[in-house]
Amino acid sequence: MTAPAPIRRIVIVGGGTAGWMAAAALARLIPAGVSVTLVESEEIGTVGVGEATIPPIRNFNALLGLDERDFLSRTQGTIKLGIAFVDWTREGHRYVHPFGEFGFDVEGVKFHQIWRKLHAEGRAREIDAYNVCALAMAAGRYQPPVADPGSILSRMAYAYQFDASLYAKYLRAHAERRGVVRVEGKVAQVPLRAGDGFIEAVVLEGDRRVEGELFLDCTGFRALLIEQALGAGWESWAHWLQCDRAVAVPSASPGPEITPFTRSTAHRAGWQWRIPLQHRVGNGHVYCSADISDDAACETLLANLDGAPLRDPFLLRFEAGRRKRAWHRNCVALGLSSGFLEPLESTSIHLIQSGIHRLMALLPDSGFSPVERDEYNRLTDAQMEQVRDFVILHYHANERQDGDLWRRVREMAIPETLRRKLDLFRGRGRFFRHEDELFAESSWIAVLLGQGVIPAGWDPLADGLDENKLATSFERIHEMFARAARAMPRHEEWLARNAPAGTTA
């Protein structure tokens, strides 16, 4: 029996972040002889938001061989050490989700377990005091991590905040240099093959036809191929994630300081993001349209900016949920066409990245093995559900007294998978990461504790350790971490010295 022939033509439809990330990665990884064509329409444009990321984006950029400083400089990029959550747990409360690890485990006992015990006895500070990223966030400072595990700086992790349209442009140049062909035009028809219903080609206005064997749907919320042409189906999660609109606006930077983190502030009917870039600040108010009008949401956004708005606010509508099959027939949906979770933990760009990695690991030949397709869909589903649960946690575990939204999400039935995690943590602070789960234990612990989910007890193994010694070493850890944070340059100074906007070749 001869093996099915390899795929020779890949067509990407859509030139937003998803389309150009896919094009750049394919250009880097696909064997010679396979053509990659990207179709996009300038007239339609892109979603125009999406500026904050999480640490794995560094692996994606490294895979492409991008120079970090050049990338930061070309995308007005800044460093993100975590997210500050303001008023989420209750009004007047603040906590951070830093990217780095908390403290050090002792004799196999988790750091947060020992912390819980000492904290209950008044012998430990708040948990942020033992995280070097949290301390650097508070000080507005940054220094790259080092690989040496003996150094405190090895406990750091970071991501980026950047102008997404500049990132797409940057990746476009990268992809085109490596042979990706860009076609400008609006897709008007998607003819399907008789028999198996596979996509045969996309036909642009003016009748230009672009044929392919594998199609990547990167058309954003339109989901032109995966849904409009193939009807892969949609599973709504709007009953859990009830926000369905956002108004966004860039504003002027309030001063020379550039905070190395994203801020998320809860409001009566949603929350507002603040993402500092080198040349401006990105802002948006994500809200539930059942609880506030668009005009009032806009007023809230504008009233909570710390610099002058640089344009009129623009409105985005969405629904939380996922495509029932992200890979259907010969089409794989990446980006907003595959599903959407609100940007609370900045996960959308990461979901594009992990979709690309999965596709590369399961790249089909012309036989389009259903087993490989099903594995892709299974892994995609699992990851979306894990991220969904993490985002729901922020809403569900709240004590806010204003607004109907907060009461509804507090009282709603949550997914069983999240319920199990919460119950386990509430008992003795136990946490287990499941099958390639995106967010590390330290992220879950930061948000669980931050949202006021305090374990009733702790791991009994912590009782076997010398408490006095632990209390002393906790203080030493804090002092070491705080000293390391204080010694870092201010974030804006580091940027000015290493990656000032628009200065690299």
Ligand X SMILES: Cc1cc2nc3c(=O)[nH]c(=O)nc-3n(C[C@H](O)[C@H](O)[C@H](O)COP(=O)(O)OP(=O)(O)OC[C@H]3O[C@@H](n4cnc5c(N)ncnc54)[C@H](O)[C@@H]3O)c2cc1C
Question: Residues at the annotated binding site for 7-chloro-L-tryptophan?
Answer: 80
Integer angstrom CA distances of residue 191 from 41, 194, 223, 325, 478: 19, 9, 15, 20, 62
User: How many beta carbons lie within 10 A of that of residue 205, not counting itself?
Assistant: 12
Q: Which of 82, 212, 220, 429 binds ligand X (CB under 6 A)?
A: 220
Binding status of residue 266 toward ligand X by CB under 6 A: no
Stretch that binds ligand X, among 35-43, 249-257, 320-328, 362-370 (CB under 6 A): 35-43
The binding site for L-tryptophan comprises 345
Binding status of residue 260 toward ligand X by CB under 6 A: no
Type of residue found at 136: A
Return the HEC string of 267-330: ECCEEEEEEECCCCEEEEEEECCCCCCHHHHHHHHHHCCCCCECCCCEEEECCCEEECCCEECC
Binding status of residue 50 toward ligand X by CB under 6 A: yes
Site for ligand X in 476-495 (CB under 6 A): none
Question: Residue 333 or residue 477: which is nearer to ligand X going by CB?
Answer: 333
Q: What share of the chain is helix, strand, coil (3-state, %, to 5)?
A: 40, 20, 40
Question: Residue 228 or residue 473: which is nearer to ligand X going by CB?
Answer: 228
CA distance 134 to 126: 11
Question: Residue 272 or residue 451: which is nearer to ligand X going by CB?
Answer: 272
Question: Residue 113 or residue 165: which is nearer to ligand X going by CB?
Answer: 165
Integer angstrom CA distances of residue 219 from 40, 45, 224: 8, 10, 6
Residue 301: alpha-carbon gap to chain centroid: 22
Q: Which of 7, 10, 12, 14 binds ligand X (CB under 6 A)?
A: 14
Site string for ligand X, 65-104 (x = CB under 6 A): ----------------------------------------
Stretch that binds ligand X, among 297-305, 329-337, 392-400, 448-456 (CB under 6 A): 329-337
Which residue bears the tokens 């100074």?
493
Q: Which residues of 36-47 are buried (b: 16+ CB within 10 A; e: fewer)?
A: bbbbbbeeeebb
- As measured in angstroms, the least distance from the Cβ of 273 to ligand X is 7
Binding status of residue 46 toward ligand X by CB under 6 A: yes
Question: Residue 176 or residue 372: which is nearer to ligand X going by CB?
Answer: 176
Binding status of residue 335 toward ligand X by CB under 6 A: yes
3-state secondary structure of 412: coil
| 184 backbone dihedrals φ, ψ, rounded to 5° | -85, 130
By DSSP bridging, strand 327-328 and strand 331-333 are antiparallel
- As measured in angstroms, the least distance from the Cβ of 430 to ligand X is 30
Type of residue found at 97: H
| 474 backbone dihedrals φ, ψ, rounded to 5° | -60, -45
Binding status of residue 349 toward ligand X by CB under 6 A: yes
Type of residue found at 433: R
Q: Is 80 a catalytic residue?
A: yes
**Sequential DSSP letters for 173-225:** HHHHHTTPEEEE--EEE--B-TTT--B-EEEETTS-EEE-SEEEE--GGG-II
Binding status of residue 45 toward ligand X by CB under 6 A: yes
- As measured in angstroms, the least distance from the Cβ of 489 to ligand X is 26
CA distance 222 to 15: 13
The binding site comprises 15-18, 80, 187, 336, 345, 349
- As measured in angstroms, the least distance from the Cβ of 501 to ligand X is 19
Q: Which of 159, 199, 336, 379 binds ligand X (CB under 6 A)?
A: 336
Q: Which of 346, 383, 386, 442 binds ligand X (CB under 6 A)?
A: 346
Q: Which of these, 362, 340, 410, lies nearest to 90 by C-alpha position? A: 410
Q: Which of 7, 10, 12, 18 binds ligand X (CB under 6 A)?
A: 18
- Residue 249's region, left for phi above 0, alpha for psi from -120 to 50, else beta, is beta
Binding status of residue 339 toward ligand X by CB under 6 A: no
Binding status of residue 224 toward ligand X by CB under 6 A: yes
CA distance 29 to 111: 40
Binding status of residue 17 toward ligand X by CB under 6 A: yes
- As measured in angstroms, the least distance from the Cβ of 96 to ligand X is 17
- As measured in angstroms, the least distance from the Cβ of 495 to ligand X is 19
Which residue bears the tokens 């008007």?
188
Site for ligand X in 237-256 (CB under 6 A): 246, 248
CA distance 304 to 316: 19
CA distance 75 to 399: 38
Stretch that binds ligand X, among 88-96, 334-342, 394-402, 454-462 (CB under 6 A): 334-342
- As measured in angstroms, the least distance from the Cβ of 366 to ligand X is 25
User: How many beta carbons lie within 10 A of that of residue 292, not counting itself?
Assistant: 21
Question: Residue 276 or residue 284: which is nearer to ligand X going by CB?
Answer: 284
Site string for ligand X, 282-321 (x = CB under 6 A): --x-------------------------------x-x---
Question: Residue 15 or residue 212: which is nearer to ligand X going by CB?
Answer: 15
CA distance 159 to 50: 13
Site for ligand X in 132-171 (CB under 6 A): 164
Binding footprint of ligand X, residue count (CB under 6 A)? 39
Q: Which residues are catalytic?
A: 80
Under the rule (CB under 6 A), what is the footprint of ligand X? 13-19, 39-41, 44-47, 49-53, 164, 186-187, 218-220, 222, 224, 246, 248, 284, 316, 318, 335-337, 343, 346, 348-349
